[in-house]
Amino acid sequence: MGLGVALTVAGCGGGGGGKAAQDPSAPLELWARTTPGGDGEKGMKKLAAAFEAATGQKVEVTAIFDDFETKLSQRAAQKDLPDIVMNDSSQLGTMVGQGIVREVDLSAIKGSDQLLAPAIEAARAADGKTYGVPYSAQASALLIRKDWRAKTGLPVPANWDQLVALAKAFTTQDPDGNGKADTYGMAVPGSTKRGYASWYFSNFLWAGGGDFIAKQPDGKYKPAMTTPESIAATTWFRDLACTSKVIQPGAATMDTPPTNETFEAGKTGMYVVGPYLMPRFDSSLGKDKYEVVPMPKGPKDSTVLAEGGSVYLMAGSKNEAAQNAFAAYAISAEGQKIGMEGEKAFIVQLPVNKSVDITSVRPDPRWKLYADAYREHGRYAPSIPNWTVVRQSTADTVNALIADCGLDTGAELKKLDQKLGEALGQQGIGAS
């Protein structure tokens, strides 16, 4: 629906571009981008029930995963959006461009002064205004088969050279002892689906000093995949597949579900991923079989991809006061702790409220390691009008480079920069 929606939604129910007539008793309709009947829905309902108990405000939770964006656009066209949408922080630019979210007045959100700076910065759009309230964060760390590493005698990798050395050992030294050459050093979701190859690679690109796009002093952006740092990081990552050959076969066709399976099935020995998979791997693989360590330092630093979820206050709500109150509750110390509780049905990965110590809810030190990685090294994708097209274009190129070792890296990155330049220009943020 795109920009056509923006023209029809701005005055949803309000007429003349104003806000809808307000009804402080109106229940809130909340949509969560999660699997119906799954743990995410259970977690959302738990938070909503706690908010209702604390305030008396009714909240109706609907979990949608398949065709979420299409269904949201349909409701926008009908000028009947839900009041709250719980969605990825990376969707901010797209939702703002569609005109379906209202600007957030942080002074009206109690406790917003306790939000961590990186989280609130990720809720700001390209125009400098805030359009979401972050309620959860996550960052990347390195999972290693602890028992395999013990057999190699190698240390926890502190830099990229040591990472490659351990990956090679996992690939060539039969760490599972079955006498077969069927193990690989690194699990890589290298598919183009939803831009996975770019999503995963960002951890290495940024730590290597490279970037997808670079912000200029005037606020515009330039493509940055042909800088020396970006070329070096891309070449290094590609060599994992083409030179040292330490990533799993078929990586170029795998998104996260099959990649997850390679790690828990004992086919791959290292995996860069967020904290959300720990409960699964603790159960399927065994907590004693793997370790969680900080990402090895790259040529520049230890920057890792930061992500999270935001409470989006949708346009046209009849109860903006309750929208604000729900967002405030979600980021409060009480709301954050409720969101983190449980082994599976938790919706807050890492707290965004700086007064909340994750160890007060999760004493497992691995969670604190992730929280420290987020606070000290986390970096969000830039809040541009449409990050999805940048991620997808870079994923297509990274995927092609690991799938076809005969391609020229420099030539492919030059083509990519041209595509990125066109995309940035179409969004009105391309630097001249």
**Does residue 19 sit within a domain?**
yes
Burial of 177 (0-12, 13-18, 19+ CB in 10 A): exposed
Average pLDDT, the chain: 94
pLDDT digits (tens, 9 = 90+) for 175-195: 999 999 999 999 999 999 999
Q: How far is CA 44 from CA 48, 114, 265, 356, 382, in A?
A: 6, 22, 31, 19, 27
| Residues 148 and 276 both lie in one domain | yes
**Does residue 432 sit within a domain?**
no
How much is the average pLDDT of 30-46? 96
| Residues 192 and 243 both lie in one domain | yes
Q: What is the pLDDT of residue 19?
A: 79
Q: Flag the least confident range among 4-8, 108-112, 333-337, 406-410.
A: 4-8
| Residues 60 and 156 both lie in one domain | no
**Dihedral angle, C-alpha 317, 350, 188, 86, nearest 10 °:** -10
pLDDT band at 12 (very low <50, low <70, confident <90, very high): very low
Q: Which residues pair with 213 in a beta bridge?
A: 223
pLDDT digits (tens, 9 = 90+) for 388-421: 999 999 999 999 999 999 999 999 999 999 999 9
pLDDT band at 2 (very low <50, low <70, confident <90, very high): very low
Q: What is the pLDDT of residue 18?
A: 61
**Dihedral angle, C-alpha 115, 117, 119, 122, nearest 10 °:** 140
| Apex 387 CA angle, 297 and 139, nearest 5 | 35
Euclidean distance between CA atoms 420 and 391, whole angstroms: 10
**Does residue 282 sit within a domain?**
yes
**Does residue 261 sit within a domain?**
yes
- Between 6 and 279, residue with greater pLDDT: 279
Q: What is the pLDDT of residue 41?
A: 97
**Does residue 431 sit within a domain?**
no
| Residues 69 and 186 both lie in one domain | no
Q: Which domain holds residue 402?
A: 141-305+385-426
| Residues 366 and 396 both lie in one domain | no
% of the chain surpassing 70 pLDDT: 96
CB neighbours (10 Å) of residue 411? 9
Euclidean distance between CA atoms 292 and 275, whole angstroms: 9
17 has a pLDDT exceeding 90: no
How much is the average pLDDT of 264-279? 96
pTM score, whole prediction: 0.91
| Residues 276 and 415 both lie in one domain | yes
| Residues 50 and 86 both lie in one domain | yes
Lookup: tokens for 321 = 């006061």
Q: Which residues pair with 305 in a beta bridge?
A: 379
| Residues 343 and 260 both lie in one domain | no
Domain count, the chain: 2
Q: What is the pLDDT of residue 347?
A: 96
Cα Dmax for the chain: 73
% of the chain surpassing 90 pLDDT: 92
| Residues 167 and 48 both lie in one domain | no
Lookup: tokens for 422 = 């066109």
For residue 418, give the CATH number of its domain. Answer: 3.40.190.10
| Residues 271 and 167 both lie in one domain | yes
Distance, first Cα to last Cα, the chain: 29
φ, ψ at 296 (rounded to 5°): -60, 145
| Residues 209 and 326 both lie in one domain | no
How much is the average pLDDT of 254-259? 96
Euclidean distance between CA atoms 189 and 195, whole angstroms: 10
How much is the average pLDDT of 341-348? 90
| Residues 264 and 408 both lie in one domain | yes
